[in-house]
């Protein structure tokens, strides 16, 4: 092979292999496409715009995630073929990139994120291990007009043995992002690490750099040792032998004194509906990919830590979640990481076993990870109408089955109106009169019950969303209380009642209607307003807590971070003492 060709393959191959670990697009395919479309890096676009794949400025509406700046371009004529192979020249605007790395990354983001009518154009490409199938998926998605494109790409892969770049080499990457401005780092309290605690950030933010930046500030109140994102890199914020501020404390002390902490980011495809409860906003694939990726990184990280400091990862007193730490009395009251993992069949027991297996050189298998196939679930009768409120350009998917997957029949737009005849057993899908299904997520659709539905659910064990118990207008009835509460939150003036007529949400409408609640945790903080956006009440610079006991609530309010907030009687005058009702039991 010519020296310049070998050098080109090695240069592109290094970046393509790195990209494959993130995107799932075979490195051999990326290299072959770069060779074919840039003429071994000699094309006008490659030389003047670092564009090695002929990426135009407008692709699939540019709604997919991209690293292109949206402005830099290079204009030139280019050849295109029709279905018969006839070639014509057309002047087009192409993307210009600062580096070849950006070109490769943007190319893969397009192949894995571009959609047509709401469906991925190159469905199945990410993770495909056969380069022949991968090339065909790309051609089938309309990537190239050349009718011999697949043959040309595969010939290049085979002639130059490019599959050698497809071999996965898993290696833990820990990058230095020391939070030198954080008071925790400045305190520099030395510890002897005796285990680890895993956290999840509790908000839909997938970028670990965001948290590294937030925590590298003089006003930061917390700091973990490391944070993991989806891309395979661990960002280290504290030396591992320095005490972190990551888990608070409990009756038996604080895990901060001995445990190394890892915070996992969460996907942007979820929405919190109160406390640790969340709903899926996409088709489920993005959430699952992020969760499994951060899970794998966490396994590798704690396998490294356990080896380095010599603790047994199978011991739950050494390796635990924040939630388990609270149960053991050494951490504040949080639900992570189980609140995310539970929906994917993952558990801390499995996590500890996987860490041990990785320490011994074993490979993590996700064959046992469960994700319920809901397509064949029971559909219960429900009479009503639903109007689409989602305004996105990609529209809202109408599906053939009550579940995610490759079952999209058509696309609905904002204002479209449908008749509902049923609801799936998990109450996540409305069945329409034509037999198809649409999501029940209130952010996307607005449901309204018929008079018949109100009667049918009148004597059943349902949580009903209506303006009042007697004679009020009803817009929905659900077996699942959280679904009813979420619908209520989206419609002002409505409340949730159980089958006896008891008001479940928001419980109290006006001040003066007092009731008592029991608090069973020691660290329930008192906030100055109804929501996590309000500051804490403090004494001597420390946050005030209710402690365990019985307290009188004089008013309730909706607010961020909890399904409901309650005003304590002792703070009634200025209305500046609120607690989350998620951690109370009404007496």
- Residues 6 or more apart whose CB falls under 8 angstroms from that of 416 comprise 387, 388
CA atoms of 365 and 362, how far apart (whole Å): 9
Q: How many CB atoms lie within 10 A of CB 129?
A: 11
382 close to 388: Cβ distance less than 8 angstroms: no
Instruction: Indicate the pLDDT class of residue 72, thresholds 50, 70 and 90.
Output: very high
Name the residue among 92, 34, 95 with its Cα closest to residue 62: 95
- Name the more confident of 582 and 247: 247
- Give dist(CA 223, CA 181) in Å, integer: 11
**Between residues 569 and 483, the one the model is more confident about:** 569
DSSP code of residue 441 = -
pLDDT score recorded for residue 131:
94
Per-residue pLDDT band at 241 (split at 50, 70, 90): very high
pLDDT in the model for residue 474:
78
Res 516 pLDDT > 90? no
Cα angle: 362, vertex 291, 378; to 5 degrees: 110
Q: Name the 3-class secondary structure at 401.
A: coil
Q: What is the pLDDT of residue 171?
A: 61
The partner residues of 87 in beta bridges, in order of sequence, read 81
Could you give the angle at the alpha carbon of 242 between the alpha carbons of 239 and 246, nearest 5°?
A: 100
Three-state DSSP string of 452-514: HHHHHCCCCCCEEEECCCCCCCEEEEECCHHHHHHHHHCCCCCEEECCCCCEEECCCCCCCCC
Share of the chain above pLDDT 70, in %: 87
Q: How far is CA 126 from CA 129, 249, 281, 390, 580, in A?
A: 9, 42, 21, 28, 42
What are the pLDDT digits (tens) for 148-175?
899 999 999 999 989 988 876 556 788 8
Q: How confident is the model at residue 455 (pLDDT cuts 50, 70, 90)?
A: low
Average pLDDT in the 201-223 region? Answer: 90
**Statement: residue 519 has pLDDT above 70:** yes
**Structural contact between residues 29 and 134, judged by C-beta atoms closer than 8 angstroms:** yes
By CB atoms closer than 10 A (0-12, 13-18, 19+), residue 328 is middle
Q: What angle do CA 515, 520, 525 make, to 5 degrees?
A: 80
Q: Residue 138: what are its φ and ψ, rounded to 5°?
A: -65, -45
pTM of the model: 0.45
Greatest mean pLDDT among 146-150, 190-194, 331-335, 403-407 lies in: 190-194
> Coil, helix or strand for 20?
helix
Residue 82 pLDDT exceeds 70: no
DSSP state of 535: P
92 to 55, 63, 89, 97: CA distances (angstroms): 10, 19, 10, 16
pLDDT higher than 60, residue 49? yes
- Residue 79 token pair: 């050849």
Respond yes or no on whether the N-terminal peptide bond of residue 506 is cis (omega within 30° of 0). Answer: yes
Instruction: With beta carbons less than 8 A apart as the criterion, state whether 324 and 348 touch.
Output: yes
Report the C-alpha gap between 461 and 479 in whole angstroms: 7
Higher pLDDT, 6 or 108: 108
Helix or strand holding residue 355 (H, E): helix 348-359
Do the bridges between strand 226-228 and strand 259-264 make them parallel or antiparallel, or are there none, so unpaired?
A: parallel
In this structure, what token pair is assigned to residue 539?
């004494």
Which DSSP state fits 582?
G
Distance separating alpha carbons of residues 575 and 577, to the nearest angstrom: 6
More confident residue, 366 or 202: 202
Per residue, what are the HEC states of 133-153?
HHHHHHHHCCCCCCCCHHHHH
Place of tokens 């906003």: 281
Give every CB contact of residue 517 below 8 A, 6+ residues apart in sequence: 550, 551, 553, 566, 581, 584, 585, 586, 587
84: confidence class by pLDDT, cuts 50, 70, 90: low
The pLDDT assigned to 448 comes to 80
Determine contact, residues 268/205, Cβ cutoff 8 Å: yes
Q: Does 486 or 66 have the greater pLDDT score?
A: 66
pLDDT digits (tens, 9 = 90+) for 271-329: 776 667 777 776 666 788 889 889 999 999 999 999 989 999 999 999 999 999 999 99
**Model pLDDT, residue 367:** 36
Across the chain, what does the average pLDDT equal?
84
Which one, of 121, 99, 110, lies nearest residue 50 by Cα? 99
Determine how β-strand 233-236 pairs with β-strand 173-176: parallel
For residue 68, pLDDT beyond 60: yes
pLDDT at residue 510 greater than cutoff 50: no
- 567-576 as b/e, with b when 16 or more CB fall inside 10 Å? bbeebbeebb
* Cβ contact 516:552 at 8 Å: yes
CA distance 102 to 107: 8
Which of the 8 DSSP states describes residue 569? G
Cα 381 from Cα 362, distance rounded (Å): 49
In this predicted structure, what is the pLDDT of residue 239? 94
Q: How confident is residue 111, by pLDDT bands cut at 50, 70 and 90?
A: very high
Could you identify the residue written with the tokens 């660290």?
Answer: 523
Q: What six digits make up the tokens of 417?
A: 């109106």
pLDDT at position 562, please? 66
Q: How many helices (H) and strands (E) does the chain have?
A: 14, 30
Mean pLDDT of 368-375: 45
pLDDT for residue 511 is more than 70: no
Q: Average pLDDT, stretch 257-270? A: 92
Mind listing the pLDDT tens digit for each residue in 458-509?
Answer: 445 778 888 887 767 777 777 777 677 767 765 656 788 887 778 877 654 4
pLDDT attached to residue 359: 86
Span 413-430, average pLDDT: 86
pLDDT given at position 587: 76
CA distances from 19 to 110, 168, 264, 568 (A): 13, 11, 21, 53
What 8-state DSSP symbol labels residue 62?
Answer: G
């Amino acid at each position: 092979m010519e020296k310049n060709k070998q050098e080109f393959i090695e240069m592109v191959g290094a970046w393509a292999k790195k990209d494959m670990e993130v995107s799932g697009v075979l490195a051999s395919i990326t290299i072959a496409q770069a060779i074919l479309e840039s003429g071994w890096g000699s094309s006008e676009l490659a030389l003047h715009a670092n564009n090695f794949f002929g990426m135009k400025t407008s692709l699939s509406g540019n709604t997919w995630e991209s690293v292109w700046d949206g402005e830099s371009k290079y204009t030139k004529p280019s050849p295109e073929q029709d279905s018969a192979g006839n070639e014509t020249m057309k002047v087009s605007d192409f993307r210009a990139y600062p580096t070849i790395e950006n070109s490769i990354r943007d190319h893969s983001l397009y192949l894995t994120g571009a959609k047509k009518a709401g469906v991925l154009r190159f469905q199945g490409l990410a993770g495909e291990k056969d380069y022949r199938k991968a090339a065909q998926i790309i051609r089938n998605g309309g990537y190239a007009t050349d009718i011999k494109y697949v043959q040309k790409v595969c010939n290049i892969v085979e002639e130059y043995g490019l599959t050698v770049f497809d071999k996965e080499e898993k290696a833990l990457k820990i990058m230095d992002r020391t939070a030198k401005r954080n008071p925790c780092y400045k305190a520099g309290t030395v510890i002897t690490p005796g285990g680890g605690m895993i956290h999840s950030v509790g908000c839909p933010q997938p970028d670990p750099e965001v948290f590294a930046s937030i925590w590298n500030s003089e006003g930061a109140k917390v700091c973990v040792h490391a944070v993991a994102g989806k891309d395979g890199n661990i960002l280290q914020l504290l030396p591992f032998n320095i005490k972190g501020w990551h888990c608070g404390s409990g009756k038996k002390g604080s895990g901060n004194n001995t445990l190394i902490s890892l915070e996992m980011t969460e996907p942007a495809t979820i929405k919190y509906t109160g406390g640790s409860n969340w709903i899926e906003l996409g088709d489920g694939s993005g959430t699952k990919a992020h969760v499994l990726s951060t899970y794998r990184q966490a396994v590798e990280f704690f396998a490294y830590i356990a080896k380095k400091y010599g603790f047994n990862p199978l011991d739950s007193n050494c390796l635990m979640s924040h939630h388990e730490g609270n149960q053991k009395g050494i951490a504040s009251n949080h639900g992570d990481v189980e609140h995310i993992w539970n929906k994917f069949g993952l558990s801390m027991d499995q996590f500890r076993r996987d860490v041990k297996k990785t320490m011994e050189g074993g490979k993590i298998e996700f064959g046992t990870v469960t994700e319920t196939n809901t397509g064949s679930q029971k559909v219960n009768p429900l009479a009503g109408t639903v109007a689409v409120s989602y305004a996105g350009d990609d529209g809202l998917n109408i599906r053939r089955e009550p579940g995610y997957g490759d079952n999209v029949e058509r696309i609905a737009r904002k204002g479209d109106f449908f008749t509902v005849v049923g609801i799936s057993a998990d109450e996540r899908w409305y069945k329409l009169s034509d037999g198809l299904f649409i999501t029940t997520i209130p952010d996307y659709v607005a449901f309204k019950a018929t008079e018949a539905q109100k009667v049918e659910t009148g004597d059943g064990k349902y949580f009903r969303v209506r303006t009042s118990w007697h004679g009020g207008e009803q817009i929905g009835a659900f077996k699942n209380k959280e679904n009813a509460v979420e619908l209520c939150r989206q419609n002002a003036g409505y409340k949730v009642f159980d089958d006896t007529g008891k008001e479940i949400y928001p419980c109290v409408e006006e001040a003066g209607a007092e009731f008592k609640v029991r608090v069973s945790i020691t660290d329930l903080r008192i906030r100055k307003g109804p929501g996590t956006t309000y500051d804490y009440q403090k004494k001597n610079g420390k946050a005030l807590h209710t402690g365990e006991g019985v307290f009188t609530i004089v008013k309730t309010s909706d607010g961020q971070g909890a399904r409901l907030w309650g005003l304590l009687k002792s703070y009634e005058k200025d209305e500046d003492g609120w607690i989350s009702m998620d951690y109370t039991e009404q007496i």
